[in-house]
Amino acid sequence: MSSLHDTFTLRSTLTSPFGRKVRMAIDVLGLASRVTIVSADTLDDNDTLRQQNPLGKLPCLLLADGTVLYDSTVIVEFLQEVAASSRLLPPSGLARYKALTLSTLADGITDAALLMVYEGRFRDAATYSERWLAHQRGKIIRALAAFEAAPPDPAKTDLVAISLACAFGYLDWRKPMEWRAAHPRLVAWCEAFAHHEPALARTRAPEKIL
Ligand SMILES: N[C@@H](CCC(=O)N[C@@H](CS)C(=O)NCC(=O)O)C(=O)O
């Protein structure tokens, strides 16, 4: 375990939804003064990101001893231990694995949304695969239906709420599909959670970047 007094470097952009998940955790856990954010370009062959994480994905967390941690959930778990907290994820028991599963479901919304956006980034419009886009859209629709049937408590900030809020932030920003009309309980959850958790507004990317 890294020293409790270490400082850390987070490789992330300010627009990455998974980076925002970690930035929210840093804020909520009171670790902001110990983490420096260094931007990374996932499309740049020469960016050191690909040496730090061979998958070339962000976020990743660099420790003082040279250790590199990813992905976002692993980083949040580590930071929670650094902060000697169990606020974001129960330390053990079935409650922990239920929370991890729900946060994976929320992350799956973001993963599918990213793949839909990447379709537009990596292909010309003429070669978009409508079948592939529909496949990803189906994942988002089913995951949203599951959360709409049982929204989390909006007065609780934990890993599930953070992951879900970051998924909605990305859907609202990149708009791979409209989601609000069919999910009134989730829209209400978003408003209530934004009111409850100021870290959500604090981790929004600056207007000039968006
Ligand atoms: N499971 C990963 C997903 C990370 C991810 O997909 N990050 C995106 C940016 S938000 C990325 O690096 N994309 C570049 C790529 O896939 O090459 C996590 O939770 O950190």
Interval 143-185: pLDDT, tens:
999 999 999 999 999 999 999 999 999 999 999 999 999 999 9
Residue nearest to atom 11 of ligand 1 (CA): 57
Are residues 59 and 135 both part of a single domain?
no
Q: Judging by DSSP bridges, how do beta strands 35-38 and 8-11 pair with one another?
A: parallel
User: pLDDT tens across 10-25, in order?
Assistant: 999 999 999 999 999 9
> Does residue 195 share a domain with residue 103?
yes
Which residue in the block uniquely carries the two structure tokens 């962000």? 58
Q: Token digits for 164?
A: 């879900």
What is the per-residue pLDDT for 4? 62
98 and 133 in a single domain? The answer is yes
Give how many domains the chain has, as a whole number.
Answer: 2
Protein residue whose Cα sits closest to atom 19 of ligand 1: 72
Q: What is the mean pLDDT of residues 32-44?
A: 97
- Last-in-domain residue among 55, 82, 109: 82
The predicted pLDDT at position 207 comes to: 85
The alpha carbon of 138 and the centre of ligand 1 are apart by a number of angstroms equal to: 20
Q: Report the run of H or E that residue 136 belongs to, with start and end.
A: helix 130-149
Strand 8-11 relative to strand 60-62, pairing: antiparallel
Provide the pLDDT for residue 209: 82
pLDDT, position 210: 76
Domain that holds residue 37: 8-82
Mean pLDDT of 189-194: 98
Q: What's the CATH code of the domain at 103?
A: 1.20.1050.10
Instruction: Give residues (CB < 6 A) around ligand 1.
Output: 16-18, 42, 56-59, 70-73, 107, 114
Contact 79, 138 (CB under 8 A): no
The minimum-distance atom of ligand 1 relative to the CA of 56 is 17
